Amino acid sequence: MTPQLSWYLALSAILFTIGVVGVIIKRNVISMFMCIELMLNAVNLTFVAFSSFFKDVSGQLFVFIVMTVAAAEAAVGLGIILAIFRNRESLDVDEANILKL
Amino acid sequence: MLTLLFILFAGLAIGCAVAMVAQRNPLYSAISLVGVFISLASLYVMLAAPFIAAVQIIVYAGAIMVLVIFVIMLLNVEEEDHASLRPRYLVPAAIVMAAMLFAEAAFIIYFVGDSRNTPVTNTSDVGLTMSIGTGLFTIYLLPFEITSILLLMAIVGAMTLARRGGLLSEGARVVPGMQVLPRSIVDKSSVGDAAPVVTHTTDEAAALLEGPVGTRAQTRIKDSELD
């Protein structure tokens, strides 16, 4: 019995759920950032699974583009985190509730 | 055999993900996230997508996580404290939403059943670098170009965000090196003059700023020296 498509989808759903839980319960902005990365990876797994089972390369191209967007998000997001830390001396998202720095 | 490998890597991915959420120290979270990425790369190999697996390792586990760990160490963040200022309803809400999504996953497992589609065998070239390159530069050329523009915007945005000082404004600091000041900073009466005043050293810029706004510039310089 080889792995089925539904197994990969279930694994992806579980990973995405863990990411959502992390974003909700975490208070450190870097931890939240990493949970968002986890959610992006869960979606990537869905794309690759569908692409592989349906023999269509489009899904993997989307994964490639998602990875690029994630890299851009990492650069800009970490820049924002640095700016927040420089202005507030804290990484707690609850303390960064005013956009004006 | 494939089933055993799937169970192994899926369990590793879920375990690392749970550990990532459960950790209070961001550095340990980051290392657990690297474990998730490597497990997912193994799953991509099982799904006959070697190019995506390699990119996953290089871009995610390599570049992005190094960046994250660099920022964690640069900021020297302490562990999260237990004292919660959050509204009380958030944790129950998270649990309920998690239960819903796990229920959906269980629904997929038990009711969708076996797919009629079989995994790709080696006869297919889907997932190889050549097919991805062909697709990327023919059908998906426009998204590819848009992505490049996005990366350019990310470069500019990250530089603008991360540099100290930013554009010269009310809280401007005089930094060493070449300065290009709007003329209105030096002379308040020439607001509409677009020609910038160029200085080449910090002393020169400070001397120029001595005039109408000299005191503020001096305090700013002292602040930056204290840093």
- pLDDT average, residue stretch B2-30: 91
Q: Which of residues 176-195 of B touch A (CB under 8 A)?
A: none
pTM of the model: 0.71
Q: Give the residue among B71, B44, B70 at the shortest CA–CA distance from B57.
A: B44
Q: What is the DSSP letter of A99?
A: S
Q: Is the pLDDT of residue B19 over 90?
A: yes
Instruction: Reduce the DSSP state of residue A14 to 3 states and report it.
Output: helix
Write down the ipTM of this complex. Answer: 0.92
Distance CA B204, CA B178 (A): 10
Instruction: Looking at the complex, report in whole angstroms how far the Cα of residue A98 sits from the nearest Cα belonging to chain B.
Output: 16
For A26, residues 6+ apart whose C-beta sits below 8 A from its C-beta are A32, A35, B21, B80
B172 at interface of A, judged by CB pairs closer than 8 A: no
Residue B220 has pLDDT above 60, yes or no: no
pLDDT for the residue B200: 67
Q: What's the rounded Cα separation, in Å, for the pair B54 and B41?
A: 7
Q: Average per-residue pLDDT in chain B?
A: 77
Min distance A87 CA to chain B CA atoms (Å):
11
State the pLDDT at residue B7. Answer: 92
pLDDT under 50: residue ranges of chain A:
none
The most confident of B72-81, B118-127, B182-191, by mean pLDDT? B72-81
B180 — pLDDT class (breaks 50, 70, 90) = low
Q: Which long-range contacts (CB under 8 A, 24 or more apart) does B125-128 make?
A: B126/A51, B126/A52, B126/A55, B126/A56, B126/A57, B126/A60, B126/B48, B127/A51, B127/A52, B127/A57, B127/A60, B127/B47, B127/B48, B127/B49, B127/B50, B127/B51, B127/B52, B128/B50, B128/B51
- Interchain CB distance below 8 Å, A55 and B14: no
The whole-number pLDDT of residue B214 equals: 45
Q: Is the pLDDT of residue B176 over 50?
A: no
pLDDT in tens, A44-60: 999 999 998 888 888 89
At residue B13, does pLDDT exceed 90? yes
Per-residue pLDDT tens over the stretch B105-118: 788 777 776 655 55
Contacts of A80 in chain B (CB under 8 A): 161
pLDDT value of residue B121: 53
Q: Give how far B119 is from chain A: nearest CA, Å.
A: 5
The predicted model gives B9-32 an average pLDDT of: 92
CA–CA separation, A30 and A79 (whole Å): 11
